[in-house]
Amino acid sequence: MKVIKTIAEMREVRRSIDKDVGFVPTMGYLHDGHLALAAQAKKENPVVMASIFVNPTQFGPREDLAGYPRDIPRDLKMLESVKTDFVFIPPAEEMYPPRASTWVNVEKVTDRLEGAVRPGHFRGVATVVTKLFNIVQPTRAYFGQKDAQQCVVIKRMVTDLDMDLEVVICPTVREKDGLAMSSRNTYLKPDERKAATVLYQSLKLAERLYTEGERNAETIRRKMADLIKQQPLANIDYISIAHNETLEELDVVKPPALISLVVKIGRPRLLDNIILK
C-alpha cells in the first residue's frame, strides 16, 4: 500500500494506471463500515484508492473541526488489512489555497434533514468530493448508506454534472446489537451506548409496521417516536419518511422510501436509516 501526500503525486500515480479504480473517500478515524466500502471496492476493481481528508468546509462554525478524532497510523493499518492499494492524504492548504472561491451547490435535496440543520454542510461535501473525483478520477466511488442524505446528494451531483463514474452505495454496517457504526459512537458513555440501540429498534419497528400493511407515514413516525421516548437518554432531533431521491416527506408510504432519524444521546447526534424496497 502506497501513501500519497500531494495532489501532484496523486495525478502522476493516476496517470500511470490504466485499469478500473475503485475509490473510497473518508475523513479518517475508520471503522468497519469504511472497511466494508474498501472491501467491496476491492471486489469490483483491480485498483482501490482511499482518501483521508478531514474536510474543513463541511464543518459549520459551531462544529468542532479541530476536535474531530484523528488516528492516521491506525487508519493506514486498517486500510492495508483490506488490501487498499493507495491512500491519498492531501494537506488542507493544497485542497483549499487562499484564493479558492468555487463551490458545488446541490440544491433542493439539501434543503431538508441534515441540510436544514447544518447549513453549508453539503456544499462542503459536494465541493470536496468533486475535487477528489477530479484528482483521483475513479471508475467507481463507494459511499455508505449510513449517511443517507449524502448518498442522495452525491448521486444527484454526479448525474447533474455528468461526472463519468459510478456511485456505489453500500449497506450500513452495524454492531451486533444493531447500532450503526460511526466515528461518533466513540463519544458515547456506557449507558448512552446501551440507549443508542433505540435508533435501530425504531427503524425495525417501522419496517414491521410497513410489512404488516401500514401506509400512513405519520402513524409510523408517531409510533417510532413513542418507542424512542421510552428511552430517557434519547432526544429526538427528527424522524423522516421521505422519497429516497427527492427527499420530500411522504404522507403515504411507498417505495423507494427512506426512513431516517437523528437522535441525540448525550453529546453526539446519532444518525440511522433504512430504505423500504
- Contacts with its own copies by CB under 8 A lie at 7, 11, 99-109, 126-127, 130-131, 134-135, 137, 156-157, 159-164, 245-246
C-alpha to C-alpha distance for 4 and 86, rounded to whole angstroms: 7
> 203 by DSSP, 3-state: which?
helix
- Dihedral sign for Cα 86, 87, 93, 96, please: positive
34 is catalytic: yes
Complex with its own copies: residue 159 or 219, whichever CB lies closer: 159
- With beta carbons less than 8 A apart as the criterion, state whether 141 and 113 touch: no
Complex with its own copies: residue 111 or 218, whichever CB lies closer: 111
Strands 140-144 and 21-26, bridge-based pairing: parallel
Burial classification of residue 48, based on how many CB atoms lie within 10 Å of its CB (0-12 exposed, 13-18 middle, 19 or more buried): buried
Complex with its own copies: residue 11 or 31, whichever CB lies closer: 11
Complex with its own copies: residue 155 or 174, whichever CB lies closer: 155
Complex with its own copies: residue 99 or 277, whichever CB lies closer: 99
Complex with its own copies: residue 164 or 212, whichever CB lies closer: 164
C-alpha to C-alpha distance for 128 and 219, rounded to whole angstroms: 39
- With beta carbons less than 8 A apart as the criterion, state whether 261 and 239 touch: yes
C-alpha to C-alpha distance for 117 and 221, rounded to whole angstroms: 19
Supply the minimum distance, in Å, between the C-beta of residue 212 and its own copies: 32
Supply the minimum distance, in Å, between the C-beta of residue 129 and its own copies: 11
Q: Which of 31, 34, 121, 243 does the annotation list as catalytic? A: 34
Supply the minimum distance, in Å, between the C-beta of residue 37 and its own copies: 22
Q: Which residues of 91-121 are buried (b: 16+ CB within 10 A; e: fewer)?
A: eeeebbeeeeeeebebeebbebbbbeebebb
Supply the minimum distance, in Å, between the C-beta of residue 33 and its own copies: 26
Supply the minimum distance, in Å, between the C-beta of residue 183 and its own copies: 26
Please give the radius of gyration of the chain, using alpha carbons only, rounded to the nearest integer: 19
Supply the minimum distance, in Å, between the C-beta of residue 275 and its own copies: 19
- Dihedral sign for Cα 276, 112, 114, 140, please: positive
Amino acid at 262: V
Grid cell for residue 171:
449497506
Residues identified as active-site: 34
